[in-house]
A and B are shown apart, each in its own frame.
Chain A
Amino acid sequence: MADQIEWVALSVFVFFFLLVTVMGFFAARWRSGPVTAHIDEWGLGGRQFGTWITWFLVGGDFYTAYTVIAVPALVYAVGAYGFFALPYTIIVYPFVFAVMPVLWKVAHANGHVTAADVVHGTYNSRGLELAVAITGMVATMPYIALQLIGMGVVIKAMGLTGELPIVASFIILALYTYSSGLRAPALIAFVKDIMIYIVVLVAVVVVPWQLGGYGAVFKAAGDAFAVKGGATGLTLQPAQMLPYATLALGSALAAFMYPHTLTGIFASKSADTIRKNAIFLPAYTLLLGLIALLGYMAYAAHIKVASPNDVVPMLFKVLFPSWFAGFAFSAIAIGALVPAAVMSIGAANLFTRNVWKSYVNPNISHAGEASVAKIASLVVKVGALAFILFLPTQYALDLQLLGGLWILQTFPALVFGLFTRWFRPEGLLLGWAVGIGWGSWTAWSNGLKPLATINLSGVGYTFYVGLGALILNIAVAVVATVILAWLLPSRQRVTAPT
């Protein structure tokens, strides 16, 4: 990419960055409550977000900056297969509609702040609580690192080199998250999402118009894949169908097990807020589908890139005036700040409630919880930053992949308990351990690919490892529960006092 600094683009970028920084610090006073007095205020924004704020907040932290870079990059590299993000982000909403309001009610009635709180409240098992908490924290770290990568890509596109810009912007982010808590990303999400909508709507109208229409865009991509060969193309090859479907399903089931998406759920005002969001959040999916097509537009625009991740920034630089490219880059960079903030808050809430309170200081006050969480959020962000600065980028990508597999293994512990009390916590814990163990080992031995193959009567089936691990996890939990119920039939399962 160009080494020259793009001054116009950079000025636009700096303007929007300063704007959201001011908003971030100002947010502490927005719909204010005592931010430092209670973790509900700092970590959940006061549990008062209505339909609109939740829409922007969840939209802002589920559809991340990295998505805007990585989905078109994957589509550019492999074609149809990269589109699994589309069915994934559609089928997630019937699930959210059916399950998340029930989860919200349990959390609201008992003052739960995290998924691990809910699990402890349901099963009164410290072991299962810790398993869910640690999985959440470990899975979130590389996800934050990924946001930094997304931000780094657009900063590089503006001609800035070195790591100083990204370190500086991350420190600013850390400071206003520290002082304002969840209110900061919630307020900034408005700006970010409106900017992203403008950018994408302009791009999907103007770019095909410049390139000769969508027919020409698909034809250029199809021709390129015909030359490229291998597992690429405008439709899926037969061997890609099962991986496509299982990746979509597994990702959809995992999506709302992450601390950052659950934080959005717990921060909602009511169960109906979540139901309405399940109806309206798919608007972002439409956007994502169109963003994915940027990968094909790159072929029609004859863009050559060193790394697929540069496809989106290059497309904007080549096809748009400098000021609009700067606007688009700001949208993507701010798009990294929102999820990074919510992720660090979600991880900090887990640490405070399920590690610090459970093991270090059980008698901690509400204000004490808020201050532990604030410091934990700083530590989490510094950790993610160090990750990016000192380890190869590929590690973050690999760990993010494993993180998706791991977080999916908390599904039975968190979701089943909302509908039945049949499962024993020991069984769920064993299932979690087996799922994580088998899934990690399988992904590792396949060279950190998310796919595994099994042979049934001579036919090989290739599928998403995470989903296979989840099925194994559930099977182990069921068998262990049956055995435990047979060995210890009289044991009463109690609900923990809150």
Chain B
Amino acid sequence: MAHVWSLPVWVLLLLPFIGLLWVPFFNFQEPALFGFPFFYWYQLAWVPIASLLIWLVHRSQTPDETP
């Protein structure tokens, strides 16, 4: 619960919100990648990045239960 949350690591969970909700960051066609305009590959790239960030936070967490 709350007391095992160490703040700095949990901040990582906010990055997807910033990266994806601030639309002017990525509302362009160029540079394209594999034919995908920037708008599309940028947002698709956030899928594995979000997974990775959540995994990092999960790894840093003290296990709070027996499996």
Contact = CB atoms under 8 A, between A and B. Distances in A.
Interface string A360-400: 00000000000000000000000000000000000000000
Given A234-B39, A235-B29, A235-B39, A271 B23 contact: no
A56 interface: no
B29 to A, nearest CB: 6
B21 to A, nearest CB: 4
Contact of B23 (A90, A208, A236, A285): A236
Nearest to A246: B21
Interface centre among B20, B58, B67 (most CB of A within 10 A): B20
Given A91-B21, A102-B1, A270 B67 contact: yes
B54 A93 contact: yes
Size category of the binding interface on chain A: 35 or more
A218 B28 CA distance: 13
A271 B36 CA distance: 38
B9 to A, nearest CB: 12
B36 to A, nearest CB: 6
Contact of B37 (A93, A105, A234, A241): A234
Taking chain A's interface residues, is the majority helix, strand, or loop, or is none over half, making it mixed?
helix
A87 B46 contact: yes
Given A102-B1, A235-B37, A90 B16 contact: yes
Contacts of A174: none
A160 B10 CA distance: 52
9 closest cross-chain pairs (CB), A and B: A214-B35, A215-B35, A87-B20, A94-B13, A241-B23, A245-B21, A282-B51, A286-B47, A282-B47
Given A282-B51, A289-B43, 12 more contacts: A87-B21, A93-B50, A94-B16, A218-B35, A218-B40, A235-B39, A236-B23, A245-B21, A270-B67, A279-B55, A286-B44, A289-B40
16 contacts: A83-B39, A83-B40, A90-B20, A91-B16, A93-B16, A94-B54, A97-B57, A98-B10, A213-B35, A218-B37, A241-B23, A242-B23, A245-B23, A271-B64, A278-B58, A285-B47
